[in-house]
Amino acid sequence: MTGRGTSLPLLLTRVRERSPGPAAGAFGGVVAAGLGLGGCAVLVTVLWISSPYPDSGPDGALRTAAALWLLAHGAELVRTDTLSGVPAPMGLSPLLLLALPVWLLHRAARDAAEGTDGRPLPQAGAVWAGVALGYLLAGAGAAVYASGGELRPSWPSCAFHLVAVTVLAAGAGVWTAHGRPRGPLPARLARHVDRLPSAFVHEVLPVGARAAAAGTAVLLAGGALVLGAGLVWHGGAVRDSLLQLTAAWSGRFAVLLLCLALLPNAMIWGAAYALGPGFLLGTEHQVGPLGGAAGPLLPAFPLLEAVPSRATGTPLTWAVGAVPVVAALTVARFVVRGADEDWPLRRVAGAVGTAAVLCGAALAGLAVASGGALGVHALSAFGPVGWLTGAAAVAWIAVPGLPVALGICWWRARESSVRPRLSAWATGWKDRRGAAAEAKESARAAKEASAGFEPYDFFHGQDQGDREFFDAARTTVPAAPLAPAPAGTDRPEPAAAAEPTTAPEPTAATDAGATAAAPPATPADAPSEPGGPAAAEPAGEDEQAR
């Protein structure tokens, strides 16, 4: 509650509580239409007030706002104030304006289909019909009011587009309120679906639909990139056209708003340009990457200045062919990711073909929605040709994407048998490299050992304990001198061995004194005289041991 009365959200809640179902839906549809009309009225009124030279009064501004609201739904308008006096159609609808009525309808249907606290959900069909009925009644009133202005609606086009947008947006809102169920299809549609193979419906179609959505997004992003490159390349002409259209700041602001509303259209035109068919700028002028130029009857408009001015293609314009190639690779990647490992190649090819067809259908529909007429005769066709754009999208997606997807799936199927072979080969290669490295290291060590070898180094490479033992054994202890052998003995008696101590070397005087002080030898042990018979005998075991 507020000081002035009940707020709008609270009023909607009370209406849903008192009369759930069709009544609440109809009220929500009327409110959604009123909000859309009010937004357009505010925008047009602000521009009318800020214009230095308004052409009409407030009534004309409001009728223009109603016509703009109908144009946002895709309805074709008829302009009566032409120089020739012949009414001229205006069917090029800015796609960004479509977001406002779609969002309002979706939210109104969703809120009406949601049950209040403690109450079950109302019947979906009744809510959907109520929202559509209320919105269409408000739209019919707006069309009748706009028919008295300079921009009058074309009744067949207005009826078709207004009903189509209302039914689809309200149905999506009700479906969202019920949790986006994937329940059984209607009986008529189910009979046609049952005729298709079960594997195609439950496996191939979902994978192809996701891949088609990804490919379409890549194409639209590429179209935006092409548009941005054209605007930057022709930046000076774009600025000059904006300044030449009007000198008032309010008029320039209105032109900028119109360019912003036409940006989605320009993105689709850029995607069609990258696919090859390009788009029409009149019945006699087609622009594409292979060549084309704008006609002399085109007005100075910032977005139109981004069109290439050369009649023949250049390598720079041919480079846009990378956009559909990337889209085809994206589709192949999504198909391979969504496909099971046991899928045959025929099913994979079917998924790629399905994705290509769905992507072509989406691009064809967007091309038709983004174009339209801006007048009669030469200006009766603006934008991409739908069937040409769709056919080019199918060809670009199928031709590069099909072999890529099949090649990836074939390699993945053979990976189970190829991977062990590759692993064995890699292991053997590593072993051979390790053996070669060890042999090289051994050869290097042997070469270093032979270069540093000395004759006395017999124990090179032995343990430290063995080296110390043999070094100690190699140290020679000086032998004691032999004492003179007494007479009558066969051999001399060796003197007592000296202790293995570090004694000073004996001098000549010391040796003489030691010899003189030696006690006389016993007869049994005395050696024979030098030159005697005993001296000529061969040495005994002790002597050999010495």
Tens digit of each residue's pLDDT (9 = 90 or more) over 45-102: 998 888 877 777 888 899 999 999 999 999 999 988 877 778 889 889 999 999 999 9
DSSP string, 86-138: S-EEE----GGGGHHHHHHHHHHHHHHHS--TTSPPPPHHHHHHHHHHHHHHH
Top pLDDT among 295 and 345 is at 345
3-state helix, strand, coil in the chain (%, to 5): 65, 5, 30
Confidence tier at 212 by pLDDT (50, 70, 90): very high
Top pLDDT among 76 and 512 is at 76
Q: Is the pLDDT of residue 445 over 90?
A: no
Confidence tier at 296 by pLDDT (50, 70, 90): low
Do the Cβ atoms of 271 and 386 come closer than 8 Å? no
Confidence tier at 11 by pLDDT (50, 70, 90): low
Q: How much is the pLDDT for 523?
A: 41
Q: How much is the pLDDT for 541?
A: 45
Q: Tokens standing for 200?
A: 């195609």
pTM exceeds 0.85 for this model: no
Q: How much is the pLDDT for 272?
A: 95
Confidence tier at 511 by pLDDT (50, 70, 90): very low
Q: Is the pLDDT of residue 294 over 80?
A: no
Q: How much is the pLDDT for 2?
A: 42
The SS3 call for residue 317 is helix
Q: Is the pLDDT of residue 323 over 50?
A: yes
Torsion of CA 480, 485, 491, 497, to 10 degrees: -20
DSSP structure class, residue 20: T
Question: Among 132-146, 330-344, 509-523, whose mean pLDDT is lowest?
Answer: 509-523
Q: Is the pLDDT of residue 363 over 90?
A: yes
Confidence tier at 6 by pLDDT (50, 70, 90): very low
Give CA angle at 292 (286, 294), nearest 5°: 75
- Report the percentage of the chain scoring pLDDT > 90: 38
Of 217, 237, 166, 171, nearest in space to 358 by CA: 217
Question: Among 219-233, 296-310, 523-537, whose mean pLDDT is lowest?
Answer: 523-537
Give the mean pLDDT of 382-394: 93
Confidence tier at 20 by pLDDT (50, 70, 90): low
> For the sheet containing 77-79, what is the strand order?
88-90, 77-79, 151-153
Question: Among 5-14, 54-63, 126-135, 246-255, whose mean pLDDT is lowest?
Answer: 5-14
Give the mean pLDDT of 316-324: 91
Q: Is the pLDDT of residue 497 over 90?
A: no
| Strand-pair category, 77-79 with 88-90 | antiparallel
Q: How much is the pLDDT for 353?
A: 94
Q: Is the pLDDT of residue 216 over 90?
A: yes
| Distant-in-sequence, close-in-space partners of 511: CB < 8 Å, separation ≥ 6 | 481
Dihedrals phi, psi of 308, to nearest 5 degrees: -60, 140
Q: Is the pLDDT of residue 457 over 60?
A: no
